[in-house]
Structure 1
Amino acid sequence: MSLPRPLARLAVLGAAVLTALAASLVLAGSASAHVSVSSQDAAPGGYGKITFRVPNESDTASTVGLRIQVPPEAAMPSLRTQSLPGWTATLTTSDLAEPLQVHGEEVSSYVSVVEFRAEAGAGIAPGEFQEFALSGGPFPEAGALSFPTVQRYSDGSESAWIEPSIDGQEEPERPAPVLTLAAAAGIEGTASESAGEGQDDSAHAAAVEDSPGGLALFLAILALLTAVGGVVLGWRAGRRTVSS
């Protein structure tokens, strides 16, 4: 038994929109799966904590290593790791071409590589993520800092998150984590806004809505509702014409 033409049209439009919706969700998931870095208090010239969020992209292997490079332009005189159960951290230092001036003293070397390694039986399993925290400063006088990072898996494969992101261009496939430094004048505002959970939830919701995945989801739902409304109106108009 075939459906009436309006209902058949509705079914076709609904299937098309649902397909687009599924595709947008897949794209949104893949776009957010890379290693990222963020901070609540890092500002130029100040000290703060930075956190690397590492999702596991593999379906079969665990993440067992993370190698974070600190380029000379992101050099900090002081950089420390936060202990993480099941992981060991190794710091590598390098000489600076131009010493840093800190509290009237010259600093000629800095931590250039931070490497985390999972102990036996540990690691980030498929479908999970982990956060690795560093504390340091003073941060360079810059708006953003890039930290090329290599993620190592238990099967011997690696994901090199090292490609630079360029303003005005599409995000690369393997972007290096970029830390945006807060303006010094905006730190107090950030701290006061985080005092209440309701304000935090609102800010998180706004961030989700502003993301490409959230926009794609909104447009797909809007298209589906528009299609349903149009077909229903057309069906009712057809029925009134027949009855008259």
Structure 2
Amino acid sequence: MSFIRRAATVLAAATALTAGLALPALAHVSITPGTAEQGGFTKVAFRVPNERDNASTTKVQVSFPADHPLAFVSVKPVPGWEVKVTEGKLPKPVKTEYGDLEEAVTTVVWSGGKINPGEFQEFEVSMGQLPKDVDSLTFPTEQTYSGGEVVKWADAPKSDGTEAEHPVPTLKLVPASGADEHSAAGASAAPVAATGPSVAPVAAAESVSDGTARLLGGAGLVVGIIGVVVGALGLRRRTA
């Protein structure tokens, strides 16, 4: 019993230590999902937890990258929150496959709502086209509390690999896999492939079923006629 108790104590201590180490990371402002494909479009959510016990989050401001501006940005309404999207003129036009981009979204601000202590809120954004020549985009974020405190999530990763105190929300970009194109091609080809082979068996099955029904119906009719004849002969014999 003493061994089991010691094992349970060690397990509880390890669990508490793991939870203690994980909680600070979970409390950071982050982007989910944290990865997207280069050159494509994506939908992400800025996840904002409340880190204070005595104040509520009342405003969230996200700055969009100016060195790699995004041509298309749209936001999903959040009940109870007002959103303001600000565009600005770029220092010089950026060439895209849709033409020269002279203006782009610089900031998105959500305000008027409330994230109470112990709660979090997600603010969804659809954006693109993502650049192809970088492996990440950063979105410095300011979190304002009801007491007037402003926390700036803008710290770059430390050189030793440890996490910064207020890490900047980062979206990692990975090379395009082409899965969407392959899936689309497969989806468009699938109905053709499925329609071709399936038509003949269905028609054949219906034909066989119809022929079988007719055969059984004819056989039943013959049996019925024979029964009538046999019954009539029997009646004659009884009468005679």
Q: Is TM (by shorter chain) over 0.5? A: yes
Contact 1:69 1:113 in 2 (8 A): yes
Deviation at 1:123, TM superposition (A): 0.9
Which ranges of structure 1 fall in alignment gaps of 5 or more residues? 1-5, 193-244
* 1:61 equivalent in alignment to 2:55: yes
Q: Match for residue 130 of structure 1?
A: 121
Give the letter for the 1:52 counterpart.
F
* 1:165 equivalent in alignment to 2:164: no
Secondary structure of 2:111's match? Answer: strand
Deviation at 1:98, TM superposition (A): 2.9
Deviation at 1:115, TM superposition (A): 0.7
Secondary structure of 1:123's match? Answer: strand
Count of equivalent residues:
183
- Residue-by-residue CA offset, 1:151-181 (whole Å, 9 max, x unaligned): 1111111221110125751110110001122
Q: Which has the higher contact order (CA 8 A, sep 6+)?
A: 1
Q: Match for residue 106 of structure 2?
A: 112
Contact 2:64 2:139 in 1 (8 A): yes
Contact 1:74 1:146 in 2 (8 A): no
Contact 2:35 2:172 in 1 (8 A): no
* 1:174 equivalent in alignment to 2:144: no
Q: Match for residue 36 of structure 1?
A: 30
Between the two proteins, what is the percent identity of the paired residues? Answer: 33
Deviation at 1:16, TM superposition (A): 5.9
- Whole-Å separation in 1 of the counterparts to 2:70 and 2:178: 21
Q: Match for residue 184 of structure 1?
A: 176
Contact 2:35 2:171 in 1 (8 A): no
After superposition, the CA RMSD in angstroms is: 2.8
- Whole-Å separation in 2 of the counterparts to 1:57 and 1:17: 28
* 1:145 equivalent in alignment to 2:171: no
Q: Match for residue 96 of structure 1?
A: 90
Contact 1:94 1:110 in 2 (8 A): yes
**Could you say if the C-alpha distance between residues 47 and 167 of structure 1 is closer, same or farther in structure 2, counting changes exceeding 3 Å?**
farther
- Residue-by-residue CA offset, 1:170-212 (whole Å, 9 max, x unaligned): 11011000112243116549x89xxxxxxxxxxxxxxxxxxxx
- Whole-Å separation in 2 of the counterparts to 1:66 and 1:93: 17
- Whole-Å separation in 1 of the counterparts to 2:129 and 2:138: 16
